[in-house]
Amino acid sequence: MNTTNPFAEALKNYIPHAANQNHMTFAEQCGYYGALMSGIPNPVVAAAAGIANPTVSYLSRAGARAGGQVRYPKVAAEYQSLGHDAFVAKYVTAALRDRCLIELENYKNGLLEPRYTGTARTSRAKGYVGVHILKPRSEFATDAWRIKIVEREGQFFALILTSPISGEIPEEHAQKLGPYATDHDCYLGARSKLTPTTEELA
């Protein structure tokens, strides 16, 4: 049996980070959760923490089951134990608050990096914000869904502008689906809710 390990000393006190925590400490998880619970938009938290949008989406739902597991259960338990005010006072440090405020200002001025706002170019060579036409895969379909994906206060919504049943709908009266954390999530969510079998025409 081979017992030689040249990495033993370096690994002695090493505790691997969970992949979906993006190397945040527990205090940082709590701090940014406190920011989210105080109304800071998801993209701003992502930029301030330097973490991916899906991670922020999971963090914002701490204690909820997603993807077959409960997300950030310790954060949720701490929040429930302390209450909002005490939790924020303990974990939203001055440094964390300042980072959020800087990125919030960038966000308001349209200067936040596209990877945090969800408008970065995708493998489809375009973002998902804008109009999409989805046709139901049915021989009885005579019209198509026309949806418009928009960003509002750091979250994404799908507006139903045309439906096979109602026809053309003025944007101010359009049904709104959402919110979603990213434009891609919004697009996929809208498609799944409108009909499980659609194809995009434009």
Q: Sketch the domain layout of the chain as residue ranges.
A: 12-117, 130-200
Instruction: Pick out the chain residues at pLDDT < 70.
Output: 1-23, 67, 113-127, 134-144, 163-169, 194-202
53-58 long-range contacts (CB < 8 A, ≥24 apart) are: 53/115, 53/116, 53/118, 53/181, 53/182, 54/20, 54/181, 54/182, 55/20, 55/21, 55/22, 56/32, 56/181, 57/181, 57/182, 57/185, 58/20
Cα–chain center distance at 189 = 12
CA gyration radius, the chain: 21
Q: Tell which residue, 97, 123, 113, has the closest CA to residue 47.
A: 113
> b/e map of 117-155 (b: 16 or more CB within 10 Å)?
bbbeeeeeeebbbeebebbbeeeeeeebbbbbbbbeebb
The confidence score (pLDDT) of residue 121 equals 41
Q: Mind listing the pLDDT tens digit for each residue in 91-100?
A: 999 989 988 9
d(CA 62, CA 75): 7
15-22 long-range contacts (CB < 8 A, ≥24 apart) are: 20/54, 20/55, 20/58, 20/71, 21/55, 22/49, 22/50, 22/51, 22/52, 22/55
Q: Where are the alpha helices (DSSP H) in 12-72?
A: 26-37, 42-49, 53-60
The confidence score (pLDDT) of residue 20 equals 38
Q: Mind listing the pLDDT tens digit for each residue in 48-93?
A: 888 878 888 889 999 988 767 888 999 999 999 999 999 999 999 9
Q: Tell which residue, 182, 89, 96, 189, has the closest CA to residue 134.
A: 189
d(CA 122, CA 112): 17
pTM exceeds 0.75: no
d(CA 39, CA 52): 18
Contact 157, 186 (CB under 8 A): yes
